Chain A
Amino acid sequence: MNNTFNIKRFGRLLKKTLLERPMHTFGFAGLVLVISLLLYFIIKIFAGYGMAQRITFFVGLIGGSFFLASFVFGYFSSNASGSSFLTLPASTFEKWFCGILIAGILYPLLFLLFFKGIDSSFVLLYHNSLDRASPFYKKEYESVYLFDLDGFIAMNVYALFFIYVGAMLVGSLYFNKTAVIKVSLTLAILIIFILGLNWLMAFGLFGSIEDAAPFNHVAIRIGKEIGSLELPPAAGKIFKYAIIYIYPAIIWFLSFTRLREKEF
């Protein structure tokens, strides 16, 4: 028998993982979808469609996957469940891929479908509610449009999704208990540290700065004017691809090696 991957065994493992704790998987996924719907509905009333789309997309995709990622390897809060998970006759790759499939592929696909559905419905309702005879019809119609899932904002959210979910997968294998809280704190500290260090470096080099984003740009204040210093395109591309592809690939792979080396 293949000790790395066997499709039948993987099917059993996926079934077991989904049905063993249905509240953690189906229940939570359902809850996030309901919250996303409510969030969209409430924010569009107070802040408009654009903001509702952006916040719902961010919270639903990243938040939902982040928590689901903590559940898929969340067996290590007790000796008994951790032992049961590690000694179950399935390969490390299958156990890892099962987690990836649930938190990194199936749920995001489900969310994207759901999001597309609610976004289309709300935008359609809005368009249908407009008075076609109104002189402002065209302007009002064009002020609300579908969220572009291939657009700039969506692409940034996807990049963050890969980083956050990867960090949670690794974190849940390092922190046996209350992994969500510990990973969230670690990420927050790391982000503040990187931003702070970047700002300090920029301040040390240029003096009066307006803002600075790591690997992106430094905005310098000269008198009343603000100028932006950006990386040369070639160097910028390297950092962009590192953040979008290389860094997530490293942490997702790290979760596999951590699971393989996990002692409990």
Chain B
Amino acid sequence: MIEVQNLSFGYKKRKLLYKNLNLKLETGSIYGLLGKNGAGKSTLLKNFIGLLFPKGGNISVNGYTPKKRWPAFLETIYFIPEEVYVPALTIEGYKKLFAPFYPLFNEEQFHSYLEQLDVHDKGKLNTLSFGQQKKFIIAFALACNTRVLLLDEPTNGLDIPSKIKFRKLIASVFTDDKIIFISTHQIRDLDNLIDRVIIVDNGELLLNASIHEISGKLCFKSVKELPETGKVLYAEDSLKGHTIVIENTEKEDSKVNLEHLFNSITENPEMAKSIFQN
């Protein structure tokens, strides 16, 4: 479990990016962290892994304080940054040097994940394309079987088939004793993958809800005319009229559109808050 209590963080003392942020991430979910560029998504992930230290408040990850960077903590968490680092080693060389640090590393899984992601090269890793390097690190991270997996913009640099394979792989390896936390601004890449959505903007937590909860509270639909009553959080012109996000007072079933959800929440944070607090 990841627990954030009154987190304050800023790169400059006088300008805090997060102020008194509270967040609780339970084990057994794939979280999608959505936010605009510069909203502080990577910063939050770096606080979780202990690369950045909170200026105030506490962060606890499975009972550990990330700031201490204890080996016992680092063995249970893997962070894939937006740009990955691979030394001038072969796949086998990398595995031999890095895998022993992760007690639950599974070699069979590692080769299977590489196969699934189409990483076959026998040469040095640093000569691979950026996308191949990223897929290699994703396969390695998944094979480490850490309880927490943090991914920062994991689909950046991946081609369309690779993005699909990535989604399939994440979904297939997920188990109830894990937390997978994916930060991205490429919202469509998380479709059908995440079961909880977290939206941050201007250092504020605007939403932390499950897909089930969102579809219960909001309705995503197309209409010919914009409704005169009800809380419309977002409307977009479409060929058949308008695509809207509205408070789900009629208990209608609809599929959550993450892009429209993101626009709804960031454009009408107060209205969204009032809907989700009820």
Residues of A participating in the B interface, judged by any CB pair closer than 8 Å? 1, 3, 6, 9, 12, 15-16, 19-21, 23, 78-81, 83-84, 86-92, 94, 261, 263-264
Known: A3-B70, A84-B85. A89 touches B102 (CB 8 A): yes
Determine the chain A residues whose CB is within 8 A of the CB of B239 once the complex forms. none
A1 to B88, CA, bound (A): 31
Measured between beta carbons, the chain B residues less than 8 angstroms from A89 are: 71, 74-75, 101-102
- Cβ contacts under 8 Å, A264 to chain B: 46, 51-52
Is B31 positioned at the interface, with any CB of A under 8 Å from its CB?
A: no
A80: chain B residues at CB < 8 Å are 81, 83-85
CB of B87 within 8 A of CB of A21, answer yes
Q: Does B161 contact A (CB under 8 A)?
A: no
- Contacts between chains A and B (CB distance < 8 A), count: 75
Show 16 residue pairs from A and B whose CB-CB distance is below 8 angstroms, ordered by the A residue.
A9-B101, A15-B97, A16-B98, A19-B93, A20-B97, A79-B83, A83-B51, A84-B85, A86-B50, A87-B50, A87-B51, A87-B77, A88-B98, A89-B75, A92-B69, A263-B53
B85 touches A87 (CB 8 A): no
Q: Select B101's contact among A83, A90, A263, beta carbons within 8 Å.
A: A90
Q: Give 9 nearest A-B pairs by CB, closest first.
A: A80-B85, A89-B74, A3-B70, A81-B85, A84-B85, A89-B75, A16-B97, A80-B83, A89-B101
* Complex contacts, B87 vs chain A, CB 8 Å: 20-21
Q: Report which residue of B50, B82, B100 has the largest number of chain A beta carbons within 10 angstroms of its beta carbon.
A: B100
Q: Is B220 an interface residue (CB 8 A)?
A: no
- Determine whether B72 belongs to the interface, using a CB cutoff of 8 Å to chain A: yes
Q: What are the interface flags for B230-265 relative to A under an 8 Å C-beta threshold, 1 for contact and 0 otherwise?
A: 000000000000000000000000000000000000
Instruction: Specify the chain B residue showing the minimal Cβ separation from A85.
Output: B85
Q: Known contacts being A20-B87, A20-B97, is A87 close to B74, with CB within 8 Å?
A: yes
| Pairwise interchain contact A12-B85, C-beta atoms closer than 8 A | no
A90: contacting residue among B53, B71, B77, B89, CB under 8 A = B71
Measured CB to CB, the closest approach of chain B to A83, in angstroms, equals: 5
Bound-state CA distance A84–B51 (Å) is 10
- The winner among A6, A20, A87 for most chain B CB atoms within 10 A is A87
If the complex has contacts A12-B100, A12-B101, A16-B97, are A86 and B71 also in contact, measured as CB distance less than 8 A?
Answer: no
A263/B81 in contact, CB under 8 A? no
Distance, CA A81 to CA B82, complexed state (A): 12
Chain A nearest CB from B14 CB (Å) reads 18
How far does the alpha carbon of A6 sit from the alpha carbon of B89 in the complex, in Å? 26
> Measured between alpha carbons, how far is A83 from B84 in the docked complex, in Å?
9
Closest B residue, CB atoms, query A20: B87
Known contacts A15-B97, A16-B98, A89-B102, A83 near B81 by CB under 8 Å: yes
> Which residue of B has the minimal Cβ distance to A9?
B71
B79 cross-chain contacts in A, Cβ below 8 A? 83, 87
> Of B69, B75, B77, B102, which contacts A86 at CB under 8 A?
B69
Give chain B nearest CB distance to A225 CB in angstroms.
Answer: 59
The answer to whether B83 and A78 touch across the interface, beta carbons within 8 angstroms, is yes
Smallest Cβ-Cβ distance to B11: which chain A residue: A263
Q: Which residues of B contact A6 (CB under 8 A)?
A: 71
Bound-state CA distance A79–B77 (Å) is 18
- With A and B bound together, what is the CA distance between A19 and B89 in angstroms? 9
Q: Is the CB of B214 closer than 8 A to any CB of chain A?
A: no
Q: How far apart sit A107 and B52, CA to CA, in the bound complex (Å)?
A: 33
B89 x A88 contact (CB < 8 A): no
Which residues on the A side are within 8 Å of B50 (C-beta)?
86-87
Further 5 A-B residue pairs, CB within 8 A, beyond A80-B84, A87-B49: A1-B72, A20-B87, A20-B89, A21-B87, A80-B83
Q: A83–B98 Cα gap in the complex (Å)?
A: 14
For window 125-184 of B, CB contacts with A under 8 Å fall at none
Q: Which residue of B lies closest to A92 (CB)?
A: B69
Across the interface, B51 reaches (CB within 8 A) one of A1, A261, A263, namely A263
Contact B88 A79 (CB under 8 A): no
- Bound-state CA distance A3–B64 (Å) is 12
Measured between alpha carbons, how far is A15 from B94 in the docked complex, in Å? 12
Task: Report which of B77, B84, B88 forms a contact with A21, defined as CB distance below 8 A.
Answer: B88
